[in-house]
Amino acid sequence: MKELVAILEDLGARKVKTYIQSGNAVFVGKDKEAPRLSKAIGVEIKKRRGFEPHVLLLGMEDLERAIEQNPFPEAENDPTALHAGFLGAAPERPDMKTLESLKSDSERFRLIDRVFYLHAPDGVGRSRLAAQAERLLGAPMTDRNWRTVGAIWRMAQELK
């Protein structure tokens, strides 16, 4: 994570904070630079590490909207079972029928804008739905459990 902080700072980010060893970081930057910065971060990681990850940047308003639109607020009591899959683009033709067929009896999901919400009380690691969601949605996705979403939100609030 120290290297990620260095990359972000080299690219002009300020007040960089990271969350555990997850690749999550919050920082102050210029809003209009998000697409350029996202690409630049990926390119710099490739230079230093030999692979170019998909980098997804969310603004404060994006994260706040995702939290407010959570369709399963009662599941927040079990934050490791509730997940938000942040999509790199709005899905053009998500295969909702197949997603529905993969969910277990205990699972629930909703796609709202560019967030795929999944409540998997039996564990996301056992979920056939979770394993296929990104492919069936047809857009790059990064999934975070609700505990992580909350931690990142609190960290971002501290930057104000």
Tens of pLDDT, residue by residue over 26-38, are 999 876 778 889 9
Give the tens place of pLDDT for each residue, 110-126. Answer: 999 999 999 999 999 99
Q: How far is CA 11 from the centre of its chain?
A: 21
Q: How many CB atoms lie within 10 A of CB 119?
A: 22
**Can you give the pLDDT at residue 103?**
97
Could you tell me what percent of the chain has a pLDDT over 90? 90
pTM of the predicted model, to two decimals? 0.93
DSSP structure class, residue 78: S
Q: How far apart are CA 57 and CA 77, in angstroms?
A: 27
The domains found in the chain, sorted by start residue, are 2-57 (no CATH), 60-157 (3.30.70)
DSSP readout, 94-127?
A: --HHHHHHH--TT-EEEEETTEEEEE-TT-GGG-
The answer to whether the beta carbons of residues 83 and 124 sit under 8 Å apart is: yes
Q: Which residue has the tokens 């490739």?
A: 46
